[in-house]
Amino acid sequence: MKENIQVFDNVLELIGKTPLIKLNKIAADFDGDFYAKVEAFNPGHSTKDRIALYIIEEAERQGILKPGNTIIETTSGNTGFSLAMVSIIKGYDCVLAVSSKSSADKIDMLKTMGAKVYVCPAHVSADDPRSYYQVAKRLHDEMEGSVYINQYFNQLNTDAHYNSTGPEIWEQTEGEITHLIACSGTGGTISGTAKYLKEQNPNIKVIGVDAFGSVLKKYHETKEFDENEIYPYRIEGLGKNLIPTATDFDIIDKFIKVSDEESAHTAREIARTEGLFVGYTSGAAMQALKQLEVEGEFKVGDKVVVLFPDHGSRYMSKIYSDKWMEEQGFVDSKSASNVKTIEFVK
Ligand code: PMP
């Protein structure tokens, strides 16, 4: 039970200091001890709260951002929600250029959090003036005092994790961590966290999780951007079709790829076994851990930290919908018989 019942000045004070929770069942047969850094405990329910707060406060320190100014970003995902939340408390306007592929739920959520949302056509190239990249750039050029977060190409994204996620994991494991497993999208989480941890102990092994259909793993291995690696996949927030400068490829020891289907089943398994209701990429990270175990990566005495980036509630109409799973051909035999309908006799 929590010892202190604290009172906070505002919701932003709750960002970071997320718990490290032992995985007791899902990894029970594996050699080593396994812990999840559960980022859903942030008030915006994801790890992106950290970068939203850090980048905005850095812009304030540098005098770029003043009350009433505008924060701009191109995302309908977790970063958008976190930026909107920080903007409310700090008195900024938040403008988000999102793709028309974004679900109505996501757009409604961002609007509820006070963001102004520009819905841009999904199937145009990145340099088309209608694309969400170009719309965000244009709005940034037009609005004096606006800040374009540009998380894929912003070093402050990585710095946010160097200054918070890394030190927290070091302290929580009392310096005994041997492996870090984290998803890579912008690469900010894994690069910043790994930089801090490797400064403390260069022997810590850092493993990035990538999606089939993304270029990151191949780029890490060959330094070659291979367009042939790119094809559509379902996991959101993991992998990329470009090389983000927020990723420090040299600090990552290896990448491992995971499939849409196995990641979805593993996310459900985390809920069933550990009682942790986490998102699709948490399933991906845990799936990577399972594959690493099969490869013989871990031994008795290892202390492995896997990062779970966000909360399961954002995936109700996807991996936590039996209907969606069926439509994808992802049949989960273990949870299929959970629902019993009782007929009442009058
Ligand atoms: N999981 C989810 C759900 C995300 O939205 C992201 C961000 N794209 C990631 C993982 C990856 O984190 P990062 O961008 O720091 O690499």
Among protein residues, the one whose CA lies closest to atom 7 of ligand 1 = 237
| pTM summary value | 0.95
- Quote the CA–CA distance of 194 and 176 in Å, as a whole number: 14
pLDDT at 185: 95
Q: What is the pLDDT of residues 117-163, one digit of tens each?
A: 999 988 788 789 999 889 999 999 999 889 999 999 999 999 999 99
**Ligand 1 centroid, distance to 78 Cα (angstroms):** 8
**Ligand 1 centroid, distance to 310 Cα (angstroms):** 9
303 is catalytic: no
Atom of ligand 1 nearest to the CA of 279: 3
Q: Is the CB of 184 under 6 A from ligand 1?
A: yes
Burial readout 278-296 (b: 16 or more C-beta within 10 A, e: otherwise): bbbbbbbbbbbbbbbbeee
Q: What is the pLDDT of residues 63-94, one digit of tens each?
A: 989 888 999 999 878 999 999 999 999 999 99
Q: Which of the residues 48, 106, 195, 240 is marked catalytic?
A: 48
Q: What is the pLDDT of residues 226-284, one digit of tens each?
A: 999 999 899 988 998 899 999 999 999 999 999 999 999 999 999 999 999 999 999 99
Atom of ligand 1 nearest to the CA of 184: 16
Number of C-alpha atoms within 13 angstroms, CB side, residue 239? 28
